[in-house]
Amino acid sequence: MPHIPSQEKRSAIGRLSPARLATSLFTTSFATRPTVAASAPGRVNLLGEHTDYNGGPVLPVAIERRTGIAARAASGWSFVSATEGGVHQLEIDAPMRRAWTDYLVGVVRELRALRAAPPGAEVAVATNLPIGAGLSSSAALTVAAAKALSLLAGKRLSPAALAEVAFRAEYHQVGVRCGRMDQTIAAHGQRGSALLFETAAGTLQAVPLPGRLWILETGVSHRLTGGALNDRRRECEEALAFCREWRPGLAYLSQLTLDDLPEVERRLAPPLVPRVRHVVTETARTRKAAQVLAAGDLVTLGQLLVQGHESLRVDYQSTIPEADLLVASAREHGAYGARLTGAGWGGAVVLLAPPEREARTVAEVGSDFQKRYGRMPATWSTRASRGVRRETLAD
Ligand code: GLA
Given pLDDT bands bounded at 50, 70 and 90, which one contains residue 36? very high
Q: Which tens digit of pLDDT belongs to each residue from 271-288?
A: 999 999 999 999 999 999
Q: Which tens digit of pLDDT belongs to each residue from 120-131?
A: 999 999 999 998
261 CA from centroid of ligand 1 (Å)? 24
3-state secondary structure of 19: helix
Given pLDDT bands bounded at 50, 70 and 90, which one contains residue 226? low
Residue 14: the pLDDT is 57
Contacts of 315-318 spanning 24+ positions with Cβ under 8 A: 315/274, 315/275, 315/277, 315/278, 315/281, 316/49, 316/50, 316/232, 316/274, 316/275, 316/278, 316/344, 317/274, 318/49, 318/50, 318/228, 318/232, 318/343, 318/344, 318/345
Q: Is the alpha carbon torsion for 328, 333, 336, 342 positive or negative?
A: negative
Percent of the chain with pLDDT over 70: 95
Tell me the pTM. Answer: 0.95
176 CA from centroid of ligand 1 (Å)? 10
Mean pLDDT of 34-41: 98
Q: Which tens digit of pLDDT belongs to each residue from 314-367?
A: 999 999 999 999 999 999 999 999 999 999 999 999 999 999 999 999 999 999
pLDDT at 9 over 60: no
pLDDT at 68 over 50: yes
Q: Which atom of ligand 1 is nearest to the CA of 170?
A: 8
Nearest CA to ligand 1 atom 11: 343
pLDDT at 7 over 70: no
Mean pLDDT of 1-6: 38
pLDDT at 290 over 60: yes
Mutational pocket test of ligand 1: of 46, 49, 52, the residue with most ligand atoms within 8 Å of the beta carbon: 52
Per the CB < 8 A criterion, the answer to whether 138 and 101 are in contact is no
Choosing from 52, 93, 102, 182, the catalytic residue is 182
Backbone angles phi, psi at 73, to 5 degrees: -65, 145
Given pLDDT bands bounded at 50, 70 and 90, which one contains residue 2? very low
Q: Which atom of ligand 1 is nearest to the CA of 49?
A: 12
Residue 38 has what DSSP assignment?
A: E
Mutational pocket test of ligand 1: of 182, 185, 232, the residue with most ligand atoms within 8 Å of the beta carbon: 182
Half-sphere exposure in the Cβ direction for 211 (13 Å, CA): 18
234 CA from centroid of ligand 1 (Å)? 14
312 CA from centroid of ligand 1 (Å)? 13
Which range has the worst mean pLDDT, 48-57, 89-98, 195-204, 225-234? 225-234
Per the CB < 8 A criterion, the answer to whether 264 and 242 are in contact is no
Task: State the maximum Cα–Cα separation within the chain, in Å, rounded to a whole number.
Answer: 67
Q: Is 179 in the pocket of ligand 1 (CB under 6 A)?
A: yes
pLDDT at 5 over 80: no
Q: Does the annotation count 182 as an active-site position?
A: yes
201 CA from centroid of ligand 1 (Å)? 18
Q: Is 181 in the pocket of ligand 1 (CB under 6 A)?
A: yes
Which range has the worst mean pLDDT, 39-43, 71-75, 221-225, 227-231? 221-225
Q: One-letter amino acid identity for 304?
A: L
pLDDT at 1 over 50: no
Q: Which atom of ligand 1 is nearest to the CA of 134?
A: 7
Q: What is the DSSP string of 129-173?
A: SPTTSSS-HHHHHHHHHHHHHHHHTT----HHHHHHHHHHIIIII
Residue 85: the pLDDT is 81
Residue 151: the pLDDT is 98
Percent of the chain with pLDDT over 90: 91
227 CA from centroid of ligand 1 (Å)? 13
Edge-to-edge, what's the strand order for the sheet holding 379-382? 337-341, 348-352, 213-217, 379-382
Q: Which tens digit of pLDDT belongs to each residue from 121-169?
A: 999 999 999 988 999 999 999 999 999 999 999 999 999 999 999 999 9
Mean pLDDT of 202-231: 88
Contacts of 331 (CB under 8 A, 6+ apart): 306, 337, 338
pLDDT at 225 over 60: no
Residue 224: the pLDDT is 53
Q: Is 322 in the pocket of ligand 1 (CB under 6 A)?
A: no
268 CA from centroid of ligand 1 (Å)? 24
| Of residues 126, 162, 168, 159, the one with CA closest to residue 146 | 162
Mutational pocket test of ligand 1: of 181, 195, 223, 230, the residue with most ligand atoms within 8 Å of the beta carbon: 181
Q: Which atom of ligand 1 is nearest to the CA of 138?
A: 8
Q: Is 53 in the pocket of ligand 1 (CB under 6 A)?
A: yes
Q: How many degrees, rounded to 5, is the angle at CA 374 between CA 373 and CA 378?
A: 80
Residue 10: the pLDDT is 46
Residue 147: the pLDDT is 98
Mean pLDDT of 255-261: 97
Nearest CA to ligand 1 atom 1: 343
Q: Which tens digit of pLDDT belongs to each residue from 209-223?
A: 989 999 999 999 876
